[in-house]
Amino acid sequence: MTADIIDGKAISAELRVKIRDEINELKSLNKNFNPKLVIIQVGSRPDSSTYVRMKLKACSEVGIDCISENVPEDISQEELLAKIEALNNDDLVHGMLVQLPLPPHLNESIITNSVKQSKDIDGFSQLNLASVFKKNDYPLYLPCTPKGILYLLEHEKVGISHKNIVVCGRSDIVGSPLAKLLEKKGATVTILHSKSTEEQKKFYISNADIVVSAVGQANFITGDFIKTGSTIIDVGTNFVPDATKKSGQRMCGDVDFESCLEKAGKITPVPGGVGPMTVVMILVNVLDSAKKAADFKRLKLNLVKPVPSDFEISRNQTPKHIVDVAKESGILDDEIEPFGSYKAKVKLSLLDRLHARKNGKYILVTGITPTPLGEGKSTTTVGLAQALGASLNKTAFANVRQPSMGPTFGIKGGAAGGGFSQVIPMDEFNMHLTGDIHAIGAANNLLAAALDTRMFHEKTQADKALFRRLCPLNKDGSRNIPKGLIPRIAKLGLDKKPIEEWTDEEIGKYVRLDINPETITWKRVVDVNDRFLRGITIGQAATEKGFTRETGFDITVASECMAILALSNSLVDLRDRLGKMVVASSHAGEPVTCEDLGCAGALTALLKDAIKPNIMQTLEGTPVFVHAGPFANISIGASSVLADKMALKLAGVDPGLTPEEEEEKVGYVVTEAGFDFTMGGERFLNIKCRSSGLKPDVIIIVATVRALKVHGGGSEVKSGQDLPIEYTTENLPMLSKGCANLAKHIENAKQYGVDVIVAINKMSADTAAEHEIIRAESLKAGAIDAIISNHWEEGGAGAVDLAKGVVACANKEYPSQKEREEQFKFLYDLENSSIADKITAIAKKMYGAGEVEFLPQAQEKIKEYTSQGFDNLPICIAKTQYSLSHDAKLKGVPTGFKFPIRDIKASVGAGYLYALAAEIQTIPGLATRCGFMNVEVNEDGEIDGLF
């Protein structure tokens, strides 16, 4: 008989075609899919260079981006390890191999083991090899030669289970792992090697069904050794003298091919047998690594109908470890501080590292005037990010606010999204997170205590006594000035001479703030809806010597400290803004600041960790920045500037790309603004964008059939009660009328020069005719598109159409980047408009008011703030979210109404004034039935009963 020759060259060629076709298909589905291999060659050994060229050629044929990095032969081990570590941290590199052998001064084991397991496509690292030898384990990547041999046996339909197999050779990268892998597949395996006797060789090989030789000795196996009909796999690479060859030698294997050919059933030649399979398995491993990198960003959803509760969905999903989420996002290991397994803080140093990168696309999600049930703005934000990241394989981030305990334990619930589009784990998201809100409360209340204490001491002490206590003498006779009070010295111009030379008048000027209690605006805060703290009396203890005053509490997220956390651009900026916070005025009408009280440094210390954005993930593994939670009624209602800037850099592209390459590789940051566009959107653009210098590429306005029917004259909807029949059945006239509210929001958004897309948040009772009405009215009002999204029920897959619309709109061509930037405009000018003018512009242009009525207290504040130089600040108007007007009962698009401003307060550190319309509250109250009534902790210590 004559054996069948196993043509490894032909088989590898077939496999290369399959790999090429699969890569092309994946690239067509995801333009960012680009498998990449880096080969490090130390020195220039001719044989190593030959092997590297083979691998480069093979990668080029199938569409793998392969780069050969040749380093000097005398490179130090530390330098080589540093290069490997840099490639380990490069998310664009999917595979890495160090060409062996290495020069003697380099420790081969240390070098190969330094390659990250997920990029060790040679399969040489201890982690991968150790998995081969564990009974119930399997490595990420098999060593390429054993993997190629297994493929050949499978391709040739050579069974392995229950066979006697001899493996000749016991190397760590071929013989030993191959023997173990064959054993795992049910074979009885014997290992022979160069020291085995002729008797042992003949006995075992003559009884073997399959023989694999990788000893590296020519003619190690001859035909008289083998069993008739056996399969012979020759891995050897040997060179023997041959005068007929130009080089004087020829390559042969370990097997005497001619004598075995007459007796074996199947046999591999050398060359052209196992060698080509080893190379092609490198390609297979690189492709697998690239696919894992692409798939790793997505957690599979187990979609269920009817949709379970939000909490059940969250609990049933197993999140990725937050370290993995960070790595996938491009965050380095030394840039994150994990808080347990599923949340972490991100260091601000990331912005320094990526400062040269161009920003990704900035998507703002707002809504129409909502109902008490909410219209799915957070859910849309999360669902869109899932669609962009998990479904379209774009780099994508969702940026949301931290939830306050107030709504979490009240009626509304947290703000994690809902259905199959939410941030997980839901309980960790809603309960404490990383303690940022507690830090805000501590900072706010420290300032409140300092304010009252200072008033008490000024009331009970003379100037010189105050001075001695504030700045006591050192042993050398100098004054010990608190660091926190040094800025006040410069502010008063007292730094022109030594403190020892101050006059009594100058000492009095320094130590006495002379606060007018009637002007105090700073309140204490608590992160609970507690209506009974809206008005309190403090100082009733006998120790306070009759110094009482009336004040009240705000909810913590209404603190100016929270707004500052959201709007700061750096730690230095945070410190500066905290110092500028105005807490009261003196009797002379001068503003009294946190800096005057010497508190700014301490407040910064309390917030030094809170300023670092937090990272979590969605149900589908898309990264989410969760940072800052300014109260949407009286503050900007948006997440932090720093979180947005980080996400935009991580989603950005390096300079030097063509416009086509940029569009292909750019990522998307989806951030939301609280309540509707008239509130959250307007403040986002006029306040947050002024602070950050950022401008959105697209504005999304979320609308529901339900809410538009409310604005079309539908019955009142209440949380916890069944919906009236008009909301669960088709009612086209009511819906058409209500679309006027949507049209007004579109009109408002377009005033800023940004394209608008309407997201129709689909609900089960909706009909196709209703959706078509919303679409038609949206386009009529000037929206670029109106797209149905079913992310609540289907996760990211339900928002794919919306995501595609956003991608198209965000990448719309403009004649020039300058024209695109110039298209954006603010609603009002800061420097040339008075406080009253700015408020009037917002009320008339955004709300539809006929006139603005400034009540006496507001008029006094306008005079006060103008005289103090605060009239050039932007405006935040605190009002109800349930109407375009100040009156929650006025639905639809009310016009011509009188808009009352009863008071104006200064958030100078945050950088705006906020005007209070009608009777808006700064600390909510609890309802009769509250969310906290369902919260329990089970036997495993897990929180149950959240929304």
- The first and second tokens of residue 221, run together, are 């196996």
- β-pairing, 614-618 with 623-626? antiparallel
Contact 489, 495 (CB under 8 A): yes
Rounded to whole angstroms, how far apart are CA atoms 263 and 270? 17
Catalytic residue (one of 36, 55, 180, 227): 55
* Active-site annotation holds for 99: yes
Contact 622, 385 (CB under 8 A): yes
Q: Position of tokens 């150790």?
A: 130
Rounded to whole angstroms, how far apart are CA atoms 281 and 234? 17
* Active-site annotation holds for 122: yes
Catalytic residue (one of 120, 122, 209, 554): 122
- For residue 905, CA distances in Å to 201, 245, 324, 678, 871 come to 93, 94, 44, 20, 12
Neighbours of 705 (CB within 10 A): 24
- The first and second tokens of residue 831, run together, are 């420097």
How does 824-859 read in b/e, with b if 16+ C-beta sit within 10 Å? eeebbeeeebebbebbbbbbebbbbbeebebeeebe
Long-range CB contacts (within 8 A, 24+) of 748-753: 748/677, 748/678, 748/681, 748/682, 748/845, 748/846, 749/366, 749/677, 749/681, 749/699, 749/701, 750/782, 751/825, 751/827, 751/845, 752/685, 752/699, 752/824, 752/825, 752/826, 752/827, 753/823, 753/824, 753/825
Beta strands in 609-690 (DSSP E): 614-618, 623-626, 668-672
- For residue 654, CA distances in Å to 35, 99, 650, 819 come to 19, 30, 10, 22
Rounded to whole angstroms, how far apart are CA atoms 329 and 795? 20
* Active-site annotation holds for 291: no
Question: Helix 571-580 crosses helix 600-607 at what angle (to 10 degrees)?
Answer: 140
Region of 190 on the Ramachandran plot (φ > 0 left; ψ -120 to 50 alpha; else beta):
beta
Q: In what order do the strands lie in the sheet with 4-5?
A: 4-5, 266-267, 231-234, 210-213, 164-168, 188-192
Q: Position of tokens 């990264």?
A: 623
Contact 91, 98 (CB under 8 A): no
Question: Helix 436-460 crosses helix 600-607 at what angle (to 10 degrees)?
Answer: 160
Q: Could you tell me which residues are beta bridge partners of residue 914? A: 876, 905
User: Rounded to the nearest 5°, which phi and psi values hold at 407?
Assistant: -70, -30
Element (H or E) spanning 428, and its range?
A: helix 426-430
Q: Position of tokens 């209602």?
A: 637
Neighbours of 54 (CB within 10 A): 15
- The first and second tokens of residue 457, run together, are 């001491």
Catalytic residue (one of 36, 41, 83, 99): 99
Contacts of 818 (CB under 8 A, 6+ apart): none
Rounded to whole angstroms, how far apart are CA atoms 745 and 764? 25
Rounded to whole angstroms, how far apart are CA atoms 414 and 427? 9
Residues marked active site are found at 55, 99, 122
